[in-house]
Structure 1
């Protein structure tokens, strides 16, 4: 990979990003690109970005071989530089060029939503694999898959990677023979310009409720909504859940760049006259759920995806995600039989895994990590098991998503019988303080609570004190194999592994 300095200048000018340039040799070709001063910078272009950037980082990069830097101000006037109005946007457009615009060689399907985007992405991934085996890449909150070999699958550190990492992984996927990419796009991806300049073939909007609002994320709900809807503005074809909050605002965003015949609406509310597809639940068991997708409009009928489907993941809320996946893959012309088979065998790590115990109830492990997703999960379990006690283990991350804490307080009060508050990626905050913030807003006349900071101990306590008929929910962490603590990823066995270990101790094999 390489990039000529004159080409970089031209690209920045095209995007109205270049403020000034100091370049000794415009024809010089850089063969490295980075925003991390700890990396090898040999003959590289280094980006000075982020609110916490320090001039010392540039010095480190120069010592490691950087020959030119991109920044919003001149840190070193004696060194070649490109001064730009927005370093994060510059990183995106120059990364795309450096890696040879790999997005142009991929059919990209992207989804956003406060809840459900990970599950929907996995559903689409599993369906596409039916027709394109070893040709489908996945960028999700959980995993990043960029090729067919074991070394091409690894854990994600961000829902949507930084733009440089995004294009690097796209290039790796293309070089590995991938033809399709399914990805989640977070609100932060637009807030931080990680997907700046990227156009998606299909974009989907699942839902929105207040989340990710706080000092390190979105200052207001309006800002959160604005960033979320940008996915639709930057997609050729749009799929929208008609039942989402702020539907009119979301729909108007889609119409900015797509004609109405390229926007597909689905939902459960059959009174909505503008629906293209109607979703109806039929049957749910502990192993799967059966639902019907009906084509309402003439436009919908041309996709030929109407019919009954069986989803190999419990929870009626997952039927919404599955319907979105059906429409997305229908638009790719995947045959209905393959869509059916892909959904029936779909698996999402850390989502609605259930463990049936001998004498301690049923344990559900799920990544539900905000009010909306937790309400959907607990509401489903309350309907399915009306005579059972719902017992929840949950924590909330530090340094972000502050609004989730009051959301957990509310949903536990509404739908739980008891809860143990515990640690979940505390970052640089005290997990005890986070738990207390959740606990103080819970109505303790309705829900009994205790705080056990050691998550493994909390799970052991919950399981050993439960009995047949109880429903235990290990929430928010899912399949995460670490706790993010003070900047370090501390290994953690995962909730499922801990629960099974406890059961071996108290119930045997």
Structure 2
């Protein structure tokens, strides 16, 4: 990467404060972790907790210049910018030769449903274009066609440097399509600054991610999610979402009318209307009816079967159908993809002999928990619901009251436990949830050890009960005091409990 090209790009975005004596330089590496720095590299000084000794270490490891928001008294020159995160995103794009220009990118945002919709869309495209569809989700990264090209994700939307590095890998591996989750944090922290999407999907929004380490308010949360609409060619919007008119207005700022496609259960507001037909505990069938048919998307009127239950997954499927159609998938690809999608940690269930049905889901906020519990209670009107859940620490404090609201509405018994407590005391988190629970409706137990809580819930259950284990899904660690602490995952723990019970053998 040539320094003069980087300076030109940064200046186009009015980010350069000063540049020192770097114009004639070029860089063979770009890093923000000093431990990863190699010879002839540009080191990025980012983060609230950045320390000058990180720069010193990077120089020892080969950094010949640095990118920062302030000058440091070191032996190498610096490029000083007004916003390091925006600058890092642009530098990453240049360093990896703008990989997004070689991909059809679908970005998906929403308080709930991002991961499911990402899997649905990617599976349709993978069938339509074998070996050409990549995916960046909360659960998995798929950057190529080989098994070694799939690995676990650490962030919903990676740091910009990592994001564009992985995009370059997808391009080098022959990928032509990329489906990715776009968290609100991606815009709050400028992780996707300068990135344009071919299709942006807005699923829904409910209050979440509001706290001292996240969004300052619901208005800020909404603002960040709306940015996907402003940075996408086509906008696909669920008309059933809260703040629909606000989201639609954001889309109209940057997209032509026929590049805005709406869908939902409200026929008056939707280009494509969803009508539920059949639903079981493992799948559902729904119809899409023509409304104000979009001339680019065309006729989607048909019956669709999706291998995931719940009306919320019918909505997720419809978003996937529209996005995949815009990407060039045919009707047979859509039907196959919907019917053959499984999502790790989403609506998994284990049937026991004597302890009811155990449902495991990644539901980790009020919206997803409410939708899950509402669906199960409507399908099992004669069964008690025993819920096991916690709430994350260091973020999303508003979730705690939301969880209590969902429990009050649908649960009979609740076991409050640990779920990525971070630097907070998990018992304090559990007590905060408990403070909002109506104990005349819900019998509550606080069992901080998650494995013990799951065991207690399953042992208590009879065949007249449902056990709902929410929050972690397939996650194999707990975030505790800054450390990813190994955890077997909820499905593994539940099955282990059943395997130890004499009446299950």
TM over 0.5: same fold?
yes
Alignment equivalent of 2:305, drawn from 298, 302, 310? 310
Q: In the alignment, does 2:424 pair up with 1:465?
A: no
Contact 1:304 1:330 in 2 (8 A): no
**What SS does the aligned partner of 1:90 have?**
helix
Alignment equivalent of 2:76, drawn from 67, 74, 79? 79
* Cα drift, residue 302 of structure 1: 5.2
Q: In the alignment, does 2:14 pair up with 1:16?
A: yes
Per-residue CA shift, 1:72-102, capped at 9, x if unaligned? 1102264210000000000000100000110
* Cα drift, residue 307 of structure 1: 0.6
Q: Partner of 2:362 in structure 1?
A: 367
Give TM-score, length-normalised by structure 2. Answer: 0.98
Q: In the alignment, does 2:107 pair up with 1:135?
A: no
* Cα drift, residue 491 of structure 1: 1.3
Q: Partner of 1:376 in structure 2?
A: 371
Deviates further, 25-34 or 314-323:
25-34
Q: In the alignment, does 2:113 pair up with 1:116?
A: yes
Q: How does 1:260-271 map to 2 (within 5 A)?
A: 260-270=257-267
Per-residue CA shift, 1:180-229, capped at 9, x if unaligned? 00000010000000000000000010111110000000001110000000
**What SS does the aligned partner of 1:256 have?**
helix
* Cα drift, residue 40 of structure 1: 2.6
Q: Partner of 1:399 in structure 2?
A: 394
* Cα drift, residue 36 of structure 1: 1.2
Contact 1:303 1:331 in 2 (8 A): no
* Cα drift, residue 277 of structure 1: 0.5
**What SS does the aligned partner of 1:29 have?**
coil
What CA distance in whole angstroms lies between the structure 1 residues aligned with 2:499 and 2:295? 50
Q: Partner of 1:428 in structure 2?
A: 423
**What SS does the aligned partner of 1:360 have?**
coil
Q: In the alignment, does 2:195 pair up with 1:198?
A: yes
State how many pairs are aligned: 504
Alignment equivalent of 1:338, drawn from 320, 329, 333? 333
Contact 1:233 1:256 in 2 (8 A): yes
| Residues 1:58 and 1:77: Cα distance change in structure 2 (over 3 Å) | closer
Q: Partner of 2:236 in structure 1?
A: 239
* Cα drift, residue 152 of structure 1: 1.2
Contact 2:354 2:504 in 1 (8 A): no
* Cα drift, residue 300 of structure 1: 5.9
Q: How does 1:121-200 map to 2 (within 5 A)?
A: 121-200=118-197
Q: Partner of 1:250 in structure 2?
A: 247
Q: Structure 1: 5+ residue runs without aligned partners?
A: none
Per-residue CA shift, 1:168-190, capped at 9, x if unaligned? 00001111111100000010000
Q: Partner of 1:290 in structure 2?
A: 285
What CA distance in whole angstroms lies between the structure 2 residues aligned with 1:205 and 1:252? 13
What CA distance in whole angstroms lies between the structure 2 residues aligned with 1:103 and 1:469? 52
